[in-house]
Structure 1
Amino acid sequence: MRIALLTSTSRRHAYLARRLQERHDLAVIVREQKGLDDAYAGREDADLIADHFRRLAGAEDAFFPDHAWCGVRSETITVDRGGLNTDAVFTELRRAQPEAIAVFGCGLIKAPVLGMLPANRLLNIHQGLSPYYRGSGTNFWPFHDQRPELVGVTLHTIDAGTDTGGIIAHGRPSIDPTDGLHTLGLKSVVVSAELMLDALDALAGGEELTPIPQWAGGTLYRRRDFNGEAIKRVRALEAAGFIAEWLHRRERHETAAVRLIRIER
C-alpha cells in the first residue's frame, strides 16, 4: 500500500521508516526537526534535564545501532519545528497520493494536513497507554509512579485534539528485571512499529479499522511537571532494582489489570 510518514529526525524515527518500507510503498517522509525545549533553559535543574535527554540519546543509539537514516530509501523532506501544517507540506503529501498516513513523534497535525484522508487512514503512534496517562511524558510518569504495567503505546486516529482520537490498538513491551526507563521506552518503539504495520496490513487487505472512543479517567501530567526531582526519583527506583521487585508482584497477581484494545483480524 502507498503510504506517507510524518515523523521527526532521531534514530527511533528512522527505525520506524525502515520497518514501514519493508512491507509498504513508503512514498514520502516529512521529518520535523525538534530539540530540547527552551522551556527548561535557565532553571536550576536544567543540567539534570539535559543529562536525562543525553542518556536517552545514548540508549537509543545503542538500541538501534543499525537503523540510521542512511538506510531509508524514500523521498525525505525535512522541515523546521512547527513546519508540518503548511500548504507546502500539504502539496507534497497530495502529490504523493498516499492511501494512509503514519504519524510518529512530530508535532500536532492540523489543517490542511488534517482531513486530507479519512480518520481511520491517518494513524498516530502515541508513546504511552491512552487514556491512562495523558499529556506529556506518558511513558516517563508510569515508571515514576511505579506502574510499569502502564508503559506502552497507543495507535489512534487523529482529530483536532491532542492525542484524543479513537483507539485502534494498544501495545506493551516485554519487561525484564534489568530494564530501566529508557530501555522500556525503546522497547515500546519496537511495539509501535508492529502495531502500525498490523494496521496498515489490515487496510491494504481491504479491512476497515474501527476506532474505539477513549474512555474517561486517567492521569494528566503537564510539561511543567517534569523536573529534576522527578528524574532523581526515577534514577533511585532504577538503582534499587524496582522492576525486578515489580515482576515478583506481577507473578503473585498483585499488579493492576489494564484494559487494552487489540486489532481484531
Structure 2
Amino acid sequence: MRVILLTGSHPRHLYVVNKLAELGLVAAHVMEVREAFVPQPPANLEKMDHINFIRHFADRDEAEQRHFEGHERVHIEIPTLNVTLTQLNSEETIKWIASQSFDIAISYGVHKLSNELLDVLPKHSWNIHGGLSPWYKGNTTLFWPFFMLRPNWAGMTIHRLSARLDAGDIVHQSVPNLDYGDRIHDVACKAVVQVTKDLTRILTTTSLEQVEYHPQKGNGKLWVSNDWMPQQLRFVYNQYNNDIVDQFLDGKIPRIDPPIISALRNEE
C-alpha cells in the first residue's frame, strides 16, 4: 500500500512520516511549514498567567523533544513538496499531488484542505486528528480532556477526510496508557506514538476494501481557538500542579471511559 502524506513540519508530524517511511509505505509527502512551536505570551497578562503560559509551552517543547528526539527532519528520501499555508491549496500543489502515484492519502497537522484539493485525493483519504471525535473536534483538543478532568479521553482519531472539520466517518481511535508521572504534554506525545503504532498495523495488515467506516454519532463539540485562554492554565498548574494523571490513577478523579472505535479489535 502506497501512501501520500500531507503533514505539518513539527517533530510530532515528522515522527509519523518517519515511522511510515521506515516501512516503505510513503510514496510522497506534502509538508506545510508550520508556525514557531514556542509562542510568545500575550501582552498584559497577570503575573500568574504569564508564568503559566511560559511554563506550558516550554514544557510542551521539552516533552516533544524528549518523545520525538531525532525527528526534526525526514530521514528517508521521498518525493517531497514543501508549502506555506497560502500554498497548501494552490493550483501548483494540487497538480503536484495529482502527478504522484499512491493508493491512500493521509493528512496530519495541516490546515483545512480545499474542496478542489480533496477532489484529486482517492476514495480512501484519512485525517489523523489529535482528539477523540466527536467530543473533541477542532483546536487544542488534547488540552480540553485535562481541563474536564478526563485525562483518559486525551486520544487520537483517524477519520475520513471531509469538507467539514473533523467530521468524517471514523476509521480508528486510540488512547495511550497512562502512567504515574505523566504530565499533560507527556500524554499528548504518547497519544501520537500510540496512533502511529496503530496506523502502521492498519496499513500493513488490512486491505482498503476491508476498512470499515463509522459515522460520527452525536453533535459532540467543535472547540475553536477562541475557546482557549491562558487563564485556563491556572486549573492545570495552580490548582492541580499538573498531576491530574496521578490523581486520576489514585482514584481521586472519577473514571469514565470513552467509547472507542477500533479497526484492530479483530486482532486483539
Query: What band does the TM-score fall into relative to the shorter chain?
Result: 0.7 to 0.9
Among residues 185, 208, 229, which one is paired with 2:231 in the alignment?
229
Distance (Å, rounded) in 2 between the aligned partners of 1:51 and 1:83: 33
Per the TM alignment, residue 209 of structure 1 is displaced from its structure 2 partner at its CA by 1.4
1:20 to 2:24 alignment: no
Aligned partner letter, 1:2: R
Classify 1:82/1:184 alpha carbon distance in 2 versus 1 (closer, same or farther; 3 Å): farther
DSSP 3-state at the match of 2:80: strand
Distance (Å, rounded) in 2 between the aligned partners of 1:164 and 1:117: 17
Per the TM alignment, residue 51 of structure 1 is displaced from its structure 2 partner at its CA by 5.3
Say if 1:8 and 1:34, in contact at 8 Å, map to a contact too.
Answer: yes
Classify 1:79/1:117 alpha carbon distance in 2 versus 1 (closer, same or farther; 3 Å): closer
Aligned partner letter, 1:104: Y
Gaps of 5+ in 2: none
Gaps of 5+ in 1: none
Say if 1:32 and 1:81, in contact at 8 Å, map to a contact too.
Answer: yes
CA offsets, 1:85-111, max 9 Å, x none? 122112211221111111111111223
Among residues 47, 64, 68, which one is paired with 1:64 in the alignment?
68
CA offsets, 1:27-56, max 9 Å, x none? 21111122159x988543495546533432
Distance (Å, rounded) in 2 between the aligned partners of 1:157 and 1:105: 15
Please say which of residues 178-187 and 222-231 is displaced more in the overlay.
222-231
Classify 1:101/1:238 alpha carbon distance in 2 versus 1 (closer, same or farther; 3 Å): farther
Distance (Å, rounded) in 2 between the aligned partners of 1:165 and 1:35: 26
| Aligned residue in 2 for 1:77 | 81
| Aligned residue in 2 for 1:197 | 200
Per the TM alignment, residue 114 of structure 1 is displaced from its structure 2 partner at its CA by 0.4
DSSP 3-state at the match of 1:149: helix
Q: Given the two structures, how large is their TM-score scaled by the length of structure 1?
A: 0.88
Per the TM alignment, residue 206 of structure 1 is displaced from its structure 2 partner at its CA by 5.3
Query: Where do residues 22-171 of structure 1 align in structure 2 (5 Å cutoff)?
Result: 22-35=22-35, 43-45=43-45, 49=53, 52-119=56-123, 121-171=124-174
Percent of pairs identical after alignment? Answer: 26
| Aligned residue in 1 for 2:9 | 9
* RMSD of equivalent CA atoms: 2.5
Classify 1:206/1:36 alpha carbon distance in 2 versus 1 (closer, same or farther; 3 Å): closer
Distance (Å, rounded) in 2 between the aligned partners of 1:180 and 1:219: 24
Aligned partner letter, 2:177: S
DSSP 3-state at the match of 1:69: coil
Q: Given the two structures, how large is their TM-score scaled by the length of structure 2?
A: 0.87
Say if 1:15 and 1:64, in contact at 8 Å, map to a contact too.
Answer: yes
Say if 2:153 and 2:257, in contact at 8 Å, map to a contact too.
Answer: no
DSSP 3-state at the match of 1:231: helix
Aligned partner letter, 2:106: A
Distance (Å, rounded) in 1 between the aligned partners of 2:251 and 2:77: 45
| Aligned residue in 2 for 1:258 | 258
CA offsets, 1:161-204, max 9 Å, x none? 0000000011001101101110000001111212322332245x
